[in-house]
Amino acid sequence: MMITALFIMTSMQMSMTTLPVYAQYIGESKSIAGFTTGIIAISAFLFRPLFGNLLDSKGRKIILVIGIIIFSLTTLSYNFVYTIVIILILRFIQGIGFSAYSNAGGTIIADVVPGSRLSEGVGLFILVNIIAMAFGPTIGLKFTEKSNYNALFILTFILAGIGLVCAFFINYERKEEKFKTLKLKSDCKDGEMDIPTETKGRIIKKNIFFEKTAIPVSLAQFFISLSLGSILTFLPLYALSQNIENIGIFFTVYAIAALCVRIIGGRLADNHGPSWIILPGMLILALSLAILAFAASMNVFLIAAVLFGFGFGAVQPTLNAIMIKLCPINRRGVGNATMFSAIDIGIGLGSILWGFIAEELGFTYIYLGSAVSVFLALIVYLLMVKKQLERSEHKQVEKIV
């Protein structure tokens, strides 16, 4: 799964940061450039409830493979279109594939990682995405410097195709029934949750579109993702407006910083609690965006990259692990769909919103607004997520007593 994710996410990151540049290359405005990122995120959001339910009812691997096939074919199709309307349609279809892939991948990882090591395990999976961000945008932006977009789209297709081949070798599904029984026992011993009600012979009607235990974390992820959308979509354009080239190195530095945090962050969260990671992480994340708002040289961009990597690498995986810990095992597909839907909305709406702000007010206000968004995520964590965790831990203690 890790190898599959590396190739798919590298392909994704290459297109995510370069398509806004391509939109301006063919004569479109900043607001339209924002739509190239926004529409794939909105598409992924619309289809996450469907795939979340299918993951829990039909299985993980089949949804994973279908998603990668859709993603790969649309990636290649960019070579044959030259109008923004068709590009946006393809981005919408690609979002469907990415929705299936990311839902399935996150759920598979949640299934195979022991309950007592969720933060560490999820952090390692997200590290793959961070590594992809280290190389994807840097390589992709090198192609845009020479306006070699055809070669760029072919390369993203090849990477996605390799990811598809790797996905066929995942043997997780064959062991699923045996594994679920062992996993259920293991997680209950870890004190993660009660045995699902279905296993007790009772049937409770569940919402197939969202998982309520995932809503507080999802709201925090939404505000974090608003800020991420500003980085993914507009950082290359912002750098070009400051006459700074080779901005792809920003993503490499960011990824290295995030990697350093995740080496110790997951274990620290598991041993001492998530607040030890999330609270300082959010403050650092907000600071990085405030610095970025006034960046005028490569050195300042790179300082912001280090801080953004530290903050994002601490916050996002830890919130993900909290959601998995609080979500019943038999609802993890829907739980992941709920959380990733919030991330999709944040990136999608953020990219569109920041596009209009860039057009009217300039790039500085994009990143000041992003810093405010992180503070809103901090408030959500303190008022909702932290209290939800405390209630869950209190119930665990009561059961032990």
> Which residues have a Cβ under 8 Å from the Cβ of 114 and sit 6 or more positions away?
121, 186, 187, 190
Residue 387: count of CB within 10 angstroms of its CB: 12
- Give the integer Cα–Cα distance in Å for 191 and 213: 17
- What's the average model confidence in pLDDT over 77-100? 89
Q: Are 156 and 277 in contact (CB under 8 A)?
A: no
Q: Where are the domains of the chain?
A: 2-400
Tokens of residue 358, six digits: 């860039």
Query: Over the stretch 204-214, which tens digit does the pLDDT of each residue have?
Result: 445 556 778 88
Question: Does residue 220 surpass a pLDDT of 90?
Answer: yes
Domain 2-400, CATH class in plain words: mainly alpha
- Give the integer Cα–Cα distance in Å for 190 and 291: 42
Q: Are 335 and 327 in contact (CB under 8 A)?
A: yes
Query: Over the stretch 268-280, which tens digit does the pLDDT of each residue have?
Result: 776 777 888 899 9
- What's the average model confidence in pLDDT over 301-327? 89
3-class secondary structure, 191 = coil
Half-sphere exposure (Cβ direction) of 35: Cα atoms closer than 13 Å: 16
Question: Does residue 382 surpass a pLDDT of 80?
Answer: yes
Task: Give the pLDDT band of residue 373 (cuts 50, 70, 90).
Answer: very high
- Give the integer Cα–Cα distance in Å for 280 and 257: 15
**pLDDT, mean over the chain:** 81
Question: Positive or negative, the Cα torsion across 340, 107, 324, 284?
Answer: negative
**In the prediction, which pLDDT does 15 show?**
85
**In the prediction, which pLDDT does 178 show?**
43
* End-to-end CA, the chain: 39
Question: Does residue 190 surpass a pLDDT of 70?
Answer: no
Which segment of 144-158, 183-197, 255-269 scores lowest on mean pLDDT?
Answer: 183-197
Tokens of residue 115, six digits: 């309950």
Question: Does residue 388 surpass a pLDDT of 60?
Answer: yes
Q: Are 227 and 373 in contact (CB under 8 A)?
A: yes
**In the prediction, which pLDDT does 166 show?**
86
Which segment of 109-123, 206-220, 311-325, 328-342 scores lowest on mean pLDDT?
Answer: 109-123
Q: What is the DSSP string of 152-174?
A: HHHHHHHHHHHHHHHHHT--GGG
- What's the average model confidence in pLDDT over 226-251? 87
Long-range contacts formed by 242-249: CB under 8 A, 24+ apart:
242/295, 242/296, 242/297, 244/297, 244/298, 244/301, 245/145, 246/141, 246/145, 247/141, 247/301, 248/17, 248/137, 248/138, 248/139, 248/140, 248/141, 248/142, 249/138, 249/298, 249/302
Task: Give the pLDDT band of residue 29 (cuts 50, 70, 90).
Answer: confident
Q: Which residue has the higher pLDDT, 52 or 9?
A: 9
Place of tokens 């009600």: 197
- What's the average model confidence in pLDDT over 229-245? 87
Amino acid residing at 66: I
Give the closest residue to 238 by CA, choosing from 365, 137, 132, 149.
Answer: 365
Tokens of residue 200, six digits: 């007790």
Task: Give the pLDDT band of residue 182 (cuts 50, 70, 90).
Answer: very low
Place of tokens 């990733």: 340
- What's the average model confidence in pLDDT over 256-277? 78
Question: Does residue 119 surpass a pLDDT of 90?
Answer: no
- Give the integer Cα–Cα distance in Å for 342 and 347: 9
Task: Give the pLDDT band of residue 38 (cuts 50, 70, 90).
Answer: confident
Q: Which residue has the higher pLDDT, 269 or 40?
A: 40
For the chain, how long is the longest CA-to-CA vector?
67
